[in-house]
Structure 1
Amino acid sequence: KEDAELLEAGAALPDGLRHAAQQDWSLAIDALRDCQRLMVIGRGAGFAIAQEAALKFKETSAIQAEAFSSAEVRHGPMALIGDNYPLLVFAPRGAEQAGLLSLAADMRQRGARVLLAAPDDVLERDLTLTCAEHPALDPILAIQSFYVMAAGLAVARGMDPDQPRHLSKVTRTH
C-alpha cells in the first residue's frame, strides 16, 4: 500500500535538499580542521547517517572516524573519550532523539568536544538539521548538510574532496 504522506513529502525533497545544503556548518569545519580522530554517533536511521559520515571523513579528509550507535558508546568506546575528544552526534527527530541528546550532554560533562546536529527546536544544538515533510526523509537532508561541510573541511585541510588520496572513483572488475 502506498503511503500518500510519504509520497507527497518525497515530492518536496528537492526543496529540502537545497535548504539542507545551505545550512551553516562552518563551526564543524573550525572544530575539526586539525582533528586526527573522532566518533560519529547516531541511532536508528541516524546510525546509517553516522556510518556514511565516518566513511566520508576518512575518504575526503583522512580523519580516522568511527561510527557508533549511541547504545554502543556507553560500553567500550567510551573509554577513548577524554578532554576535547571530538564527537559528531546526529540527533534527528524521532524516538531515538532523547537518548542522543542525553548522551551528548553526558559527553560534554566528560569534556568531549561535542558537535550536536539536531533540528532547530533543540536549543543545545551546534549544527542545524533541516526537517523534511516526513520524518522518514530526515536522514537524506541530514547527510546533505554533512556533505557540504565535509567538502569544506577537506579543502580547509589542504585536500581535494573530489580527488581522495589513494582512491579511484571508478571501480574496475576483471
Structure 2
Amino acid sequence: MLTEANESPAVVERLLRGQARVIGEVGAWLRDHPPALVTMAARGSSDHAATFFKYLMEVSTGIPVASIGPSVASVYKQRLRLPSAVHFTVSQSGASPDIVALQAAAKDGGARTVAIVNVADSPVAREADLTILLGAGPEKSVAATKSFITSAAALAAIVSSAAGDTGFKRGLDALPEALSRTSMIDMAASQEVIAASHSLYTCGRGTGLGIAMEAALKCKETAGLHAEAFSTAEIMHGPLRLVERGFPVIGFVQDDMSFDNNCEAMQKLSNLGARTITFSSKPASGLSVLVPSTGHGLLDPLVALLPAYRLIEAVTRQKGFDPDQPANLLKVTETM
C-alpha cells in the first residue's frame, strides 16, 4: 500500500501527459455542447473520486452531476432516459457486472459514455464511447491508493478542459509536484492520536468531502477503525452528539471559499474536546498538517490525501494488521 501510494505523483504526471488528447475530447463535449446532466457510476473508492468530481464540475461549470445506483440497471432492469447526458464510469478493474450494466443502460438511454479505468481490456473500456486509461500499473494491495488519486486527477483534468479556466489549468499542472512534496510531511503526532482510537470522524466540504469519504474507507478497510465521513456542515447536526473529549476528527480544509466556515467548524469541534487533525495548505486549529498547495484550492484536498494514506498505513501496521491483505476483502469485488 505504501509503495503504491508513493508512486502516485509519477503516475499522475504520466496520465496528464499521455491521455491529454482524450481528456481534451471529453472536455470539448462538456464545453461546446453542455449537457443538461452528467451522470456517474462507481463503487467503493471510485465512488469517492466521483464525489470529488461532482463538486469540481458543479462549482466550475454549473453542470449538475448525479450518481446513479448501478442496481437500477443490473437488478431492477430499469431503462434510463438520458438524452444529451454524458455518463462517466469510474473503475479500477472495469469489470463489475453492475457498472457494466449501468453503462449499457446509459448508452441505450441516449447518453455519451466515458470510461475511466486502469484495465484497458475490460468490459467497461471496450464498450465506452471514449476511454481514459489511468496507466497506474498493477495495484497489488487490496486498498486502492494510486488508482484513486489518478482517477481523481483524470476527472479534474476533464473539468479543467471543460471550464477553460487558466488558473485551474496551472493548478492541475502543479499537481504532480505538489504530491511529490508531501513526502517531507511528518505524521508522527497524528499517528499517535489515530492509533489510540477505536472510532473517528473525517470531514470536508466541497471537493474535500470526497477525500474525507476516501480517508474514512481506508481507516475501515485497513486499520479496522470505525470511521464515518461527513460534510463539515452536516457534522454539526446529529453526528455532533458523539463528539466527546479525546474523540478524533480528521478535517480536510482547502483554501477556497469554504475555508473560513471549515476552520470555524474544526475549532468548534476542538472546543468540545475533539482531537482535531486538519489537513490544509494554511495553518488551522488542533494538529495542523500543512500540505503543499497546487495554487488552486479546489484541487488541494487531493494533495492532502497522499499523506493521509501514509498516516493510515502506518497506523494499520502499528495495530499489527497487514494493510495489503485486510480481513474479509478482495481486490476486485464483482457485484450485481
- What is the TM-score normalised by the length of structure 2? 0.49
Return closer, same or farther for 1:120/1:72 CA change in 2, 3 Å cut-off. Answer: closer
Q: Where does residue 221 of structure 2 map in the other structure?
A: 59
Return closer, same or farther for 1:121/1:36 CA change in 2, 3 Å cut-off. Answer: closer
The separation in 2 between residues aligned to 1:172 and 1:105, in whole angstroms, is 42
- Structure 1 unmatched runs, 5+: none
| 70, 77, 94: which one aligns with 2:239 | 77
| 73, 86, 96: which one aligns with 2:248 | 86
- Matching of residue 38 in structure 1 with residue 175 in structure 2: no
State the secondary structure of the residue aligned to 2:197.
coil
Return closer, same or farther for 1:9/1:106 CA change in 2, 3 Å cut-off. Answer: closer
- CA apart distance, 1:146: 0.9
| 40, 47, 60: which one aligns with 2:209 | 47
Larger displacement relative to structure 2 (27-36 or 122-131): 122-131
State the secondary structure of the residue aligned to 2:233.
helix
Matches within 5 A, 1:1-174: 2-122=164-284, 125-172=287-334
Q: Percent identity, please.
A: 31
Q: Are 1:21 and 1:148, in contact at CA under 8 Å, matched by a contact in 2?
A: no
- CA apart distance, 1:133: 3.1
- CA apart distance, 1:49: 1.1
State the Cα deviation string for residues 27-49 of structure 1 (Å, max 9, x = none): 11111112110010111111111
The separation in 2 between residues aligned to 1:89 and 1:76, in whole angstroms, is 17
The separation in 1 between residues aligned to 2:254 and 2:229, in whole angstroms, is 16
The separation in 1 between residues aligned to 2:221 and 2:238, in whole angstroms, is 25
- CA apart distance, 1:136: 2.8
- CA apart distance, 1:134: 2.3
Return closer, same or farther for 1:64/1:99 CA change in 2, 3 Å cut-off. Answer: same
Return closer, same or farther for 1:67/1:123 CA change in 2, 3 Å cut-off. Answer: closer
- CA apart distance, 1:131: 0.9
Equivalent AA in structure 2 for residue 153 of structure 1? V
Return closer, same or farther for 1:146/1:7 CA change in 2, 3 Å cut-off. Answer: same
RMSD: 1.9
The count of aligned residue pairs is 174
State the secondary structure of the residue aligned to 2:185.
coil
Larger Rg: 2
State the Cα deviation string for residues 47-88 of structure 1 (Å, max 9, x = none): 111111101100110000000111111111111111111111
Return closer, same or farther for 1:78/1:172 CA change in 2, 3 Å cut-off. Answer: closer
- Structure 2 unmatched runs, 5+: 1-161
Q: Are 1:60 and 1:151, in contact at CA under 8 Å, matched by a contact in 2?
A: yes
